[in-house]
Amino acid sequence: MAATPAEASVPSSRASNEPPDDAIAFEHVTRRFGEHAAVDDVSLTVGRGELFGLVGPSGCGKTTLIRLIAGLLEPSEGDALVNGTEPTAFSARERQELGYMPQEFSLFPSLSIQQNCGFVAGLYGMGWFHRRRRIRDVLTFLDLWDARKRSAGRASGGMRRRLSLACALLHEPRLMLVDEPTAGLDPELRVRIWEHLHEIQARGTTVVVTTQLIEEAERCDSVGIMRAGQLIAHGPPSALRASAGLSEIVEVEAEELDRADVAAIWSLRTVRNARLVSSTRLRVEVDDAEAALPDVAGTLHDRGRVVHRVDTHEASFEDVFLELVEASRR
């Protein structure tokens, strides 16, 4: 569990004692569109109260999986349970427990931010008085209260994403499905969105979030990595990092490098893996960068290479992702 929930700041009337069962339990779920399997034999469990991230490149099946969880799509094969019920058989009461933020903006551009919230609150059967208070709280929480009278069509991309999030949050769902909330946003806004997601989780809400930005996965309690419709890895970020066998990286920049240099580095006892990034850059994976650095630098020096720069850092989740994707191909 890498993520650390921030302090809850959204008022909630619901008790935080949730049943211990899984919020999501998918067993060998496949969804085909014609011959193409957009989601292919996915088995997945998401614990209640967890912040679960689905990462993967565009078109890998993340949105299809979210729509299967929301009950918008029917599985072609396999068993899907969300809050203990098949999503396609959700009752109105069970839908009341679900919050959904779609990938695309799905509200009325001519209405104000506040009026859009009012419409969605109405969809969930919230009365006027309850609605007014709740909209104020949620919009304040998402820093939208001051812009509440602005029409959604004239709001910035970041405001629209937060408006969509607000609408998914209004009725205090137990499970929130958030599809690519940070797509197209600047880094500062992305950080704020993730802070909001952590705060929502801190209130006991299970959050399933998809993202193409691999490094964002580290902010989740648990991560599923998707490629070509398949869930190729699933678990906490630390466990995934371990399974990828990556801990620290030594990046070397030299005047000129070749395959023989890579082979020489590879043969070192302290090195787990080495690959040529370009004709001047070498990426070396090691267990302990501090211990391996003299060996790497010495070897290159012995081979007559002029080293300009050496950096060491912990393997990023992008490295983990690439490693796991590579492993799945093997």
Contact range with other proteins by CB under 8 A, out of 53-61, 118-126, 199-207, 275-283: 118-126
Nearer to other proteins, 5 or 173 (CB): 173
User: Which of 29, 37, 52, 124 touches other proteins (CB under 8 A)?
Assistant: 124
Look at the chain and count its residues. Answer: 330
Nearer to other proteins, 49 or 102 (CB): 102
- Report whether 209 contacts 54 (CB < 8 A): yes
- Report whether 254 contacts 307 (CB < 8 A): yes
Q: Cβ of residue 295: shortest distance to other proteins, in angstroms?
A: 56
Q: Cβ of residue 185: shortest distance to other proteins, in angstroms?
A: 20
Q: Cβ of residue 99: shortest distance to other proteins, in angstroms?
A: 8
88 binds other proteins (CB under 8 A): yes
- In the region spanning residues 157 to 176, those forming contacts with other proteins, defined by CB under 8 A, are 167
Q: Cβ of residue 171: shortest distance to other proteins, in angstroms?
A: 8
Contact range with other proteins by CB under 8 A, out of 100-108, 133-141, 203-211, 223-231: 100-108
266 binds other proteins (CB under 8 A): no
- Report whether 228 contacts 221 (CB < 8 A): no
Contact range with other proteins by CB under 8 A, out of 9-17, 39-47, 99-107, 198-206: 99-107
Total of chain residues touching other proteins, rule CB under 8 A? 36
Residue numbers of the site for other proteins (CB under 8 A)? 70-74, 87-88, 92-93, 95-96, 98, 100, 102, 104-112, 115, 118-127, 151, 167
